[in-house]
Amino acid sequence: MSDDKRMMMSRRQVVGAVGIGMAASAAGTAISQDQSQGSTIPQRSEVTMQDPRAKYPHPPFKQQTQAWPGLARDMDPRPDHGETSYQGSNRLAGRKALITGGDSGMGRAAAIAFAREGADVAINYFPTEEPDAREVVDLIRKAGRTAAPIAGDLRDEAFCQDLVAKAVEALGGLDIIVSNAGRQQAKPSILDITSEDFDATMKTNIYAPFWIIKAALPHLKPGSCIIATASEQAYDPSPELYDYAQTKAATMNYVKSLAKQLGPQGIRVNGVAPGPIWTPLQISGGASEEKYQHFGSTTVFGRPGQPAELASIYVQLAAADASFATGNIYGSSGGHGQP
């Protein structure tokens, strides 16, 4: 090897060594700075664990029958919809949601969570549920989001079409539909169900989503989503809920069918299947007095769920990072099993 080549290699080695040394020095300085400036490294806060068995009230519950559809504000204990507990992280910033049955139950929990995640929200409710709806509207507005309360009867096709039009106008568009409102009236026997009762349940639980989705679809762009509230009754029906259980089985199936139909358009469709959840549905004819007094006692936690415990499921299904989730039913039933 010539002297010139040896000198060139030597120079390269020296330069390389200097470069490595500078990088190491910089890294060491950065580490030193991070260690000396504790604020630059997120510190772990101590986690407070919560026992799900003791988190919420257990049965027996006091006698408290209300006229249909009932009010959450008059229940004892009052259901928890996340009014004080749900904290958002901007996961739905700028989104625009329409939620039926948004005054109480899972609809109310979803409305509160969506608003605190940055979404504007229109809620539908039956006119007699106005007191509950006003509370939800106040919570949405306190979160700094637009709230659009729209009262009316979902059993009417013209109203369902008007509902969508009003929501689009109030929010400036739509990209989330939560079809949550439901009618449940327990009857010991099929002989106790009148044709009028059967028709009212079918129109509320099956016709209304059909009418609303049809009206909303022209407004839904790729990235939009539809979320239905199904039930454990879809796959484990109670004998006294003959008509209601049928509608929830149909809901589970329309989710799967519609997901296949709308997937090529970039629209996702999913459902949530709750187990026993403490809502006005139970004390306004949805369960017998004997049953609601012991409501939720058969779960593994010995209590019913609260709407707040399902809020994060609705948020996850609406959020963009769940972009591969469609045609699925997400259960939350306290150990009762899943579809």
Catalytic residues: 244
| Burial state string for 111-149 with b = 16 or more CB within 10 A and e = fewer than 16 | bbbbbbbbbbbbbbbbeebeebbebbbebbeebebebbb
Please name which of 184, 159, 307, 157 lies closest in space to residue 248, comparing C-alpha atoms: 184
State residue 124 phi and psi, 5-degree precision: -105, 150
Among 76, 70, 73, smallest CA distance to 293 is for 76
Closest CA to 229 of 177, 174, 192: 177
Annotate 91-129 with three-state secondary structure.
CCCCCEEEEECCCCHHHHHHHHHHHHCCCEEEEEECHHH
Contact 227, 178 (CB under 8 A): yes
CA pair distance 103, 114, nearest whole angstrom:
14
- Are the C-beta atoms of residues 296 and 309 closer than 8 Å to each other? no
Q: 105: closest CA among 284, 278, 247, 233? A: 278
For 276, which DSSP code?
S
If you count them, how many residues does the chain have? 339
Per-residue tokens: 9: 């290699």
CA distance 188 to 14: 91
